[in-house]
Structure 1
Amino acid sequence: MQESIMMALIGGLIIGVATSLLLALNGRVTGVSNILNGLLDRTPYESEWRWFFVFGMFFAGLVLNQFRPELFEVDIPRSSVMILIAGLLVGFGTMMGSGCTSGHGICGVARLSPRSIVATICFMIAGMLMANFLRWIVGL
């Protein structure tokens, strides 16, 4: 198999196992936007597991960067302002959709949640339309 196919397979397996473990052991869906949103929750234990989750994501990235730094080389032909605007729009979209692609697209679809299936379809269509609009019409 090609290396990229194997990397995608391994990544998918890790995401599947991690989301399943969080649901089975903690009763929580792995929706990253909601996890980040609750970092400053003052309810006992609510923010603690979230901080460990976020730390784990960053720590895993740091470890992978030590072994495969070429995976982190990114050449995005966009300005910092455009990237900032895109990030804000994604944040706004996660609030409108009551969750993000990880919560709806990975966890919700796997649980056959009709709301998550519809949300994921809407995310994908909106993303494809906007990317093509910006590329072909606006020239970004």
Structure 2
Amino acid sequence: MKLLILNGPNLNLLGKREPEIYGNLTFEDYFSTLENKFPEISFTYFQSNVEGELINKLHEVGFSYDGIILNAGAYTHTSIGLGDAIKGITTPVIEVHISNTFSREEFRHQSYISPNAKGIIIGFGLKSYELAVDYFL
């Protein structure tokens, strides 16, 4: 099974950025944990702060991978382009968020990803990614 974990803007700062919300672990460290826990899965990880690069990656793998786990960060709430890219591919996408976006600012309650995602996992910290992997298994 081939899964892509795709992270959007500012998620490269995990472990440093607002640890009270996002924790102290870098995503690279957490990614190693996922790889060890699920050795039967071929994981690919990609992070970008650039919206077009995220769209390009969705187009690149969106017809050949078994699943995509997407945390689009702030683009979740602003990017019609990402929503359209998900709608245009055949690989199922699970939208994940580390924090409970509904307990935060009002603008974070809107998602342009959700209408085109297979499902949404919100608010379980980094474990949100593991829950998405469990879905694909």
Structure with more strand by fraction? 2
Structure with more helix by fraction? 1
Taking structure 1 as the reference length, what is the TM-score of the superposition? 0.30
Taking structure 2 as the reference length, what is the TM-score of the superposition? 0.31
